[in-house]
Amino acid sequence: MAGSQSFRKRENEKKKQAKRVDKQKRKEERQATGPSSMDNMIAWVDENGNLTSIPPEERDGKRIEIKLEDIDVSTPRQEYVEVEPLKGLVEYFNSEKGYGFIKDLQNNEKYFFHISGAPQDIAEGKQVTFELERGIRGINATRIVITK
């Protein structure tokens, strides 16, 4: 009883042996065809960015020499543009919870603001200037200043 194998174990052994034989056959076939040339594995890129099997020396087109000093690699300088503050009206403010909404006077959009970005004496109905900033949940009004 100790030397007997189950049906499944015998089947698995047969499958493993078949895989080994198949792998050996593939290996012998590769060796019979000879080594593959490295030239068959190389691809070049032509002047239009397409892959080709023709080396650059054998192409018909004229080769253009580019001098190293003619190549400019840089990013353009970003000019500082001063943003003018927007004008609005405090439409709603809850002092207990510390937040409110400002209505933009130009496009009638409403923007959320938190008390941390507003002066202490802010109240409903006051005219303010503010800037916009992207927050976690959308665009918020920040740097709020009360105007007279």
pLDDT digits (tens, 9 = 90+) for 53-89: 888 778 776 767 788 888 888 888 888 877 788 999 9
Nearest-5° Cα angle at 78, 73 to 81: 170
CATH number at residue 97: 2.40.50.140
pLDDT digits (tens, 9 = 90+) for 79-120: 887 778 899 999 999 999 999 999 999 999 999 999 998 998
100 has which bridge partners? Answer: 93, 113
Q: Where are the beta strands (DSSP E) in 3-137?
A: 44-45, 51-52, 86-94, 99-104, 110-114, 127-135
In a domain, 21, yes or no: no
Q: Total domain count for the chain?
A: 1
pTM of the model: 0.46
In a domain, 12, yes or no: no
Predicted confidence (pLDDT) at residue 22 exceeds the cutoff of 60: yes
